């Protein structure tokens, strides 16, 4: 195909070569000139260069996700007349509504009927004109660096994982205590030099109190997976934020409805913030895409978009060869579906990891009626961990309505599934820790 800016009718943005090529072939057979872009970081540049009438974008891609691409198209005066179809296996109702709010013309769930896609495209291409060419955009990236601190309780080969909150947030506060705790998701990973805090649910309050008391760490990293309340509600009460001796590095994705900076501003600097006063610590904000990053000389990190409503990321850490995945909101689908590629990609990312901290919201019984809502069940994720040869699987984001007996029953079933495999399940109750040895 001659990639002349006058000849491109449709640009397809999809990193999956199978579905991308299939969509391209279906539409090409109808006589349209198609350009397939498999690198989302080049999507806006391609749209501005070729000025298609229509863009078809997948949601979950490395780099910029499809929702963000839609937002950028519709907010750019030079290309805002470009029509947009969101085509994705991430077909939650909230995602459909978000796509419409961002200006998408259609949301088509995978797997799709080719005839239906053709019908929609014919309707769209009969009523649009090409957008004029604007300047080429520039993409700016940053690599955060961490200063050195020393935890006197850990040796250089030790990695300490602590659970400060492992429950989801229910419709109302529970009235019954639980041996597993009631705080919402927050974990810490500690080495002799570094502390990484995973999510800012109510559990982060206890993390902050511990940091102030022990005085081991001055530079603190907080990794936000997404902006749902159960993962962020505790941030405003994190004590080191109000101590001038600390530097707080906050990492997270942007959502088309709210950027990470907007989230930090409303959580910490508005009159509606938890404390009502601004932080005193130095705050650095790092917005991440699905990409690889360097936190320090000892810690490398990769991110992957999760199968969960709203823009949600999974964090994959490599700490001098010790590998930990944190995925508190991620649905692994058991059956072969259009989203099977998500399972396969996550398995490739996590194959042979030392620790997997993963969404285990449902027991098997409830998952029968609650599947495809963005959370995993204990049996499916246990089987996934074993298949991926994960050494230790730690459940997180457990249903807040479950009794201790129900949780224990979940763990018993998971243990049975994992018998004879390389994977063991470790349930960390609130404020419990496990020390791992690198290479151990």
Residue 354 pLDDT grade (very low, low, confident, very high; cuts 50, 70, 90): very high
> Could you give the C-alpha distances from 286 to 242, 248, 270, 309, in angstroms and in order?
20, 11, 20, 22
Q: Higher confidence at residue 383 or residue 142?
A: 383
CB atoms within 10 A of CB 246: 22
- Are 67 and 317 contacting, i.e. CB atoms less than 8 angstroms apart? no
Residue 184: DSSP 8-state: P
Measuring CA to CA, which residue among 71, 70, 112 is closest to residue 91? 112
Distance CA 406, CA 419 (A): 20
Residue 352 structure tokens: 């042979």
- Secondary structure string (H, E, C) spanning 411-423: HHHHHHHHCCCCC
Residue 337 has pLDDT above 60, yes or no: no
Measuring CA to CA, which residue among 196, 237, 213, 183 is closest to residue 429? 183
The 10s digit of each residue's pLDDT in 386-405 is 999 999 999 999 999 999 99
Residue 265: DSSP 8-state: I
Distance CA 346, CA 80 (A): 34
Measuring CA to CA, which residue among 63, 69, 62 is closest to residue 12? 69
pLDDT recorded at residue 132:
41
Residue 297 has pLDDT above 50, yes or no: yes
The 10s digit of each residue's pLDDT in 108-151 is 988 788 988 999 999 888 744 344 444 433 333 344 433 445 77
Mean of pLDDT over the chain: 89
- Are 436 and 155 contacting, i.e. CB atoms less than 8 angstroms apart? no
85 Cβ partners below 8 Å, 6+ apart? 54, 55, 56, 57, 104, 105, 106, 107, 108, 120, 121, 124
CB atoms within 10 A of CB 351: 12
In sequence order, what DSSP letters do the residues of 112-175 get, joined into one string?
--HHHHHHHHHHHHTS--PPPP-PPP--------------TTS-TTEEEEEEEE-B---SS--S
Strand order in the sheet with 10-13: 34-37, 10-13, 54-57, 83-88, 106-109
pLDDT recorded at residue 94:
78
Residue 152 pLDDT grade (very low, low, confident, very high; cuts 50, 70, 90): confident
Residue 95 pLDDT grade (very low, low, confident, very high; cuts 50, 70, 90): confident
The 10s digit of each residue's pLDDT in 240-267 is 999 999 999 999 999 988 999 999 989 9
Q: What is the mean pLDDT of residues 417-430?
A: 97
**Lowest-confidence pick of 82-86, 90-94, 157-161:** 90-94
> Could you give the C-alpha distances from 92 to 109, 309, 374, 433, in angstroms and in order?
9, 6, 8, 35
Residue 242 structure tokens: 């109000």
Q: Higher confidence at residue 336 or residue 328?
A: 328
How many residues appear in the chain? Answer: 440
Task: Calculate Rg over the CA atoms of the chain.
Answer: 23
Residue 1 has pLDDT above 80, yes or no: no
Residue 335 pLDDT grade (very low, low, confident, very high; cuts 50, 70, 90): low
**Lowest-confidence pick of 2-6, 113-117, 243-247, 381-385:** 2-6
Q: What is the mean pLDDT of residues 150-170?
A: 91
Ordered by where they begin, the domains of the chain are: 10-125 (3.40.50.2300), 158-437 (3.60.15.10)
pLDDT recorded at residue 333:
82
Q: How far is CA 275 from the centre of its chain?
A: 28
**Lowest-confidence pick of 29-38, 126-135, 148-157, 194-203:** 126-135
Distance CA 190, CA 438 (A): 13
Longest dimension (CA), the chain: 69
- Are 389 and 356 contacting, i.e. CB atoms less than 8 angstroms apart? no
Q: Higher confidence at residue 162 or residue 102?
A: 162
Give the rounded percent of residues in the chain with a pLDDT score beyond 90. 68
Residue 67 has pLDDT above 60, yes or no: yes
Measuring CA to CA, which residue among 290, 271, 194, 200 is closest to residue 239? 200
Residue 85 has pLDDT above 50, yes or no: yes
Residue 178: DSSP 8-state: -
pLDDT recorded at residue 339:
52
Helices 404-418, 378-387: axis angle to 10 degrees equals: 30
- Are 402 and 384 contacting, i.e. CB atoms less than 8 angstroms apart? no
């Amino acid at each position: 195909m001659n990639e002349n800016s006058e000849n491109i009718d449709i640009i397809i943005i999809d990193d999956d070569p199978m579905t991308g090529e299939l969509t391209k072939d279906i539409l090409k057979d109808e006589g349209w000139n198609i350009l397939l872009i498999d690198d989302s970081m080049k999507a806006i540049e391609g749209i501005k260069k070729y000025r298609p009438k229509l863009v078809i974008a997948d949601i979950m891609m490395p780099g910029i996700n499809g929702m963000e691409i839609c937002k950028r198209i519709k907010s750019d005066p030079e290309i805002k007349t470009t029509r947009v179809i969101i085509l994705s296996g991430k077909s939650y109702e909230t995602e459909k509504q978000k796509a419409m709010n961002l200006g998408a013309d259609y949301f088509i769930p995978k797997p799709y009927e080719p005839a239906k896609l053709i019908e929609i495209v014919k309707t769209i291409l009969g009523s649009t004109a090409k957008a004029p060419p604007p300047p080429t955009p520039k993409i700016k990236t940053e690599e955060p660096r961490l200063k050195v601190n020393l935890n006197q309780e850990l040796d250089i080969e030790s990695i300490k994982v602590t659970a400060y909150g492992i429950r989801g947030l229910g419709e109302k506060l529970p009235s019954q205590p639980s041996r597993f705790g009631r705080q919402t998701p927050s974990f810490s990973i500690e080495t002799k030099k570094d502390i990484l805090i995973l999510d800012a649910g109510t559990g982060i309050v206890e993390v902050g109190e511990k940091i102030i008391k022990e005085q081991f760490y001055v530079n603190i990293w907080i990794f936000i997976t997404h902006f749902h309340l159960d993962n962020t509600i505790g941030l405003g009460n994190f004590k080191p934020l109000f101590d001038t001796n600390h530097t707080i590095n906050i990492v997270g994705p942007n959502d088309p409805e709210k950027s990470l900076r907007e989230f930090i501003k409303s959580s910490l600097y508005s009159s509606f913030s938890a404390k009502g006063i601004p932080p005193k610590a130095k705050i650095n904000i790092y917005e991440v895409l699905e990409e690889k990053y360097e936190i320090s000389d000892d810690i490398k990190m990769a991110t992957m978009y999760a199968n969960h409503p709203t823009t949600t990321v999974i964090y994959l850490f490599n700490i001098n060869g010790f590998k930990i995945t944190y995925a508190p909101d991620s649905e692994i689908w058991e059956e072969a579906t259009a989203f099977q590629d998500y399972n396969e990609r996550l398995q490739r990312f996590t194959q042979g990891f030392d620790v997997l901290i993963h969404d285990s919201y449902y027991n098997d019984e409830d998952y029968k009626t609650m599947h495809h809502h963005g959370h995993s069940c204990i049996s499916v994720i246990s089987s996934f961990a074993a298949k991926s040869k994960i050494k230790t699987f730690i459940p997180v984001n457990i249903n807040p309505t479950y009794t201790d007996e129900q949780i224990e029953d979940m763990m018993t079933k998971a243990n049975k599934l994992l018998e004879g495999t390389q994977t063991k399940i470790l349930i960390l109750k609130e404020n419990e820790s496990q020390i791992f040895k690198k290479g151990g």
